[in-house]
Every structure is written in structure tokens, then in C-alpha cells.
Amino acid sequence: MFKWKVLVRVGIVFHKDPYGPAMGIDLVRMRAIAGGLLRRGIQAEIIAPVAHEGMVDGSIPVRNLSTLVRSGRYDLIKTSYHDSIMLVGDYHGPVVSRIVRVVDHRFPERDEAVRDRLLRCQELIRARASVVVLNNEENRARWLSLYGNEPRTALIPTGCPAALPPVKSNPLADDSPAILFLGSLSAARMVQIINEAARRLAGVARFHLIGKNKAHMYGGGPDCDLDPLIVNHGELEEDLVWPYIRHGRIGLAIATGPYAFDNDVSKILNYLRGGLPVLSEEPIVNNDLVRQTGLGRIFRYGDVDDLVAQAKELLEYSFETKREAVMRFMASEHSWDKRVDSYIELFNSLIEP
């Protein structure tokens, strides 16, 4: 046990460029957690392999890796993803390591090209971390089956903004009802499903991608090109995404594969936070929120017929009576501020009063 009287400074280790625009969930999450800690009076800093130290979002300091060897600078550090643990080096304080999905020698199959590296990271986390943070029970069970309960585990799911930007004009120029897919298409099956659904619903609704098609990074071949029927807006900064959510008709979530542990889908929280009905595939672990709120439907795994049928029903149904209540619920119970509170409680458990 590491002993401090007061938690003063936390370093958030991030293995990628922290200065990039907040388009992906990795940068959005990192800035939300760091900014939330700062607002609670904790001196949070981002530590990354950067040549120049500076600031992000006008208030969050960014330091280079050399700060980790300065004695006493941080009470503890938090790593962000698998690869972040490789940057810890000779830091001697407590480490809180968060990972999204637990990899074993077989699954997820789509991680085959990087499996050895991810397994090395997990072994280092097992040996070095004080606590392993996971998003859901499915991945905690996998971690425990592989490594046991040392270090101990904690569950802190993904979050969504407590406050949204003011409602802006509709950026969806087409008059057709908009079915949005927010985020990355990160498996070949995801592209194939959205392409087929777009073709089947042509003339009924138009599909919009706000993100990237990354299927080729996970073994996807030439059949993973996006159908021209789908409007590809590319990646957008977070503030620019909300007008699409607020003016869309359905938010679509497609599973990467059949295993729940590999389907923690953060976009569902944003859809619900923005009052957008969700159409989600069965193995996705966040479907409990769709069921709990009643704002959306769940379609059977791999069943495009069911996807199309459920989409048509959602397009005909009005959710106006429950939309605002769901938005308030997500803000109060699943905001980034709530996740920051969980981290502070966890950090304090590592410090002797």
C-alpha cells in the first residue's frame, strides 16, 4: 500500500497525441476525466510522448514522459489503454490501469495482428498496476479468469456529457429520415450489415456515417468499402456531432462480433443523452440502457431482416413523451462527472488517510 496524507496530483498517461481534435472516444474520454478532476480541485496532468509541453482545452496541462521520473510529482498515475502501460517506466507510485477489452490467446479474433503486443501489455498491467479498471462485468470476468484478483479490479463505465451545446440548425440536408452511425466501423461484418441495411431501406431513410471505416485494419478486404448510398461525413469534433444526434431519427449500433465482452459501445450513451432512439444489435453490453430507458429497440444478431423491420417501426413511432426524461436521466446518472466521482473514490482508496 502506498501512503499519502492528501491526494494532490494525478498523471494521466496517454500513448497517443493528446493535442489532436476531440473526434474519437479516446480523446473525448481523456479530456473529460482530466477536466473533471481539475474541476474537483485535483491537479491532473496528461503525460504523453510529446516534444512540446502545453495545454488542451485551455486548462489541462500536457507534460512529456520525463515528468514520470521526477520524485514526488504525482501521487498516482492512471493509464488510459493497453499501450499506455508501456510508458510508465521507472515510476514508483501506485498505477491505476484502464483497458477496454481483455484479450486472450484466441479472442477477439479481429485482434490477431496485434495480439502478442496486447498480451504483453496485460502481463505488464498485472505485474505493475495497483488496480485494473474495466468498463463492464464481461471484461472483468475475463480478466479474473486469466489473472485472478491481484491486482484488484474496479468497474467504471464510459460516460456522456452532463451539459450539451445549444440546439443548432439541422446539418442533415436531405429530407429523408436520418439513421446515424456514430464512431468507427471496426469489423468487416459491420460494414456489410450497414451496406445491406442502407440498400434495403433506400427511399425510406438515409444512412449517415460520422466517423471512420476502419474495417481494413481488422482484416477486412475489398468487400468492406462503404456503399455510396451512405452519406460519409467523416470524423467530426465532438461539439459538431451533437446537431446530427439532435436532428437524427435513429442511432444505429452494430456489434463487432458475437461476444458481449468485445461490444462495449460508447455511442449508445451519446445517442440516449441526445434523445435519439437507438437501434442496437443483440450482443452489445450497453443494451441494458436501451431496455432501461425504453428509447429504442434491439435487433437479433446478424439479422438484417430484423434490423430493417425494427428500423421501420422506430421511424413510425414517436418518442417525444419520454425523450426529455431519458436525456435528464443520462445526464444525472451516466455523465462524465459521475465517472470522475468514481475515479476519485478509487484514487482515495489507494491513499492512507
Q: What is the pLDDT of residue 219?
A: 67
Q: What is the pLDDT of residue 111?
A: 87
HEC string of 34-92 equals HHHHHHCCCEEEEECCCCCCEEECCCEEEECHHHHHCCCCCCEEEECCHHHHHHCCCCC
Nearest of 350, 329, 260 to residue 10 by alpha carbon: 350
| Spatial CB neighbours of 344, under 8 Å, sequence gap ≥ 6 | 7, 37, 40, 42
CA distance 257 to 190: 9
> Cell numbers at residue 84, please?
499506455
Residues of the chain with CATH 3.40.50.2000: 9-159+335-349, 178-333
Q: What is the pLDDT of residue 13?
A: 97
Per-residue tens of pLDDT for the chain, all 353 residues:
344 445 679 999 999 999 988 888 899 999 999 999 999 999 999 999 999 999 999 999 999 999 988 767 899 999 999 999 999 988 988 999 999 999 999 999 888 989 999 999 999 999 999 999 999 999 999 999 999 998 999 999 999 999 999 888 899 877 799 999 999 998 999 999 999 999 999 999 999 999 998 877 766 666 788 999 999 999 999 999 999 999 999 999 999 999 999 999 999 999 999 999 999 999 999 999 999 999 999 999 999 999 999 999 999 988 888 999 999 999 999 999 999 999 999 999 987 65
Neighbouring-strand partners of residue 97: 79, 132
Contact 91, 68 (CB under 8 A): yes
Q: What is the pLDDT of residue 203?
A: 94
CB atoms within 10 A of CB 148: 11
pTM of the model: 0.92
DSSP helix/strand/coil, 155: strand
Q: What is the pLDDT of residue 224?
A: 82
CB atoms within 10 A of CB 120: 14
> What's the order of all strands across the beta sheet hosting 60-63?
54-56, 60-63, 43-47, 9-13, 76-79, 95-98, 131-134, 152-155
Q: How many residues in total does the chain contain? A: 353
CA distance 237 to 20: 10
Neighbouring-strand partners of residue 281: 299
CATH number (3.10.105.10, 3.30.505.50, 3.40.50.2000, 3.10.20.90) of 178-333 reads: 3.40.50.2000
Domain 9-159+335-349 CATH class label:
alpha beta
Q: What is the pLDDT of residue 29?
A: 94
C-alpha count within 13 angstroms, C-beta hemisphere, residue 158: 21
> Cell numbers at residue 114, please?
496485434
Work out the burial of residue 177: count CB atoms within 10 Å of its CB; fewer than 13 is exposed, 13-18 middle, 19 or more buried.
middle
Peptide bond into 277 cis (omega under 30): no
> 198-225 in b/e burial notation, b at 16+ Cβ within 10 A?
bebbeeebbbbbbbbbbbeebebeeebe
Q: What is the pLDDT of residue 34?
A: 97
Peptide bond into 108 cis (omega under 30): yes
